[in-house]
Amino acid sequence: MKIFLREIDETIIEPFFNPAIFISPIIERLIAWGDTKDLEINK
């Protein structure tokens, strides 16, 4: 997942039906969380 996120050059998604969505904060949060294998699962 980290490698995929590093390879993303565009941080704005521009759908044809809505205004642009700024996704940099989401990507930064996912990177801060680290690898999914290190995340805890809450039940």
pTM attached to this predicted model: 0.43
The pLDDT, as a whole number, for residue 7 is 59
The pLDDT value recorded for residue 8 is 66
28 in a structural domain? yes
Q: Which residues pair with 12 in a beta bridge?
A: 22
Q: Would 16 be classed as within a structural domain?
A: yes
**DSSP letters of the chain?**
-HHHHHH----EE--SSS--EE-HHHHHHHHHH--GGGSPPP-
Please check whether residue 23 is in contact with residue 13, taking contact to mean a CB–CB distance below 8 angstroms.
Answer: yes
Is residue 41 a part of any domain in this protein? no
- Residue 18 is part of which domain span? 2-35
Overall domain count for the chain: 1
Digitized pLDDT (tens) for each residue of the chain, 43 residues in all: 666 666 565 666 666 666 667 888 888 888 888 887 776 777 6
13, 20 Cβ separation under 8 angstroms: yes
- The answer to whether position 14 is within a domain reads yes
The answer to whether residue 42 sits within a structural domain is no
Residue 41, CB half-sphere, CA atoms under 13 Å: how many?
A: 3
For residue 23, being part of any structural domain is answered with: yes
**Residue 9 is assigned to a structural domain of this protein:** yes
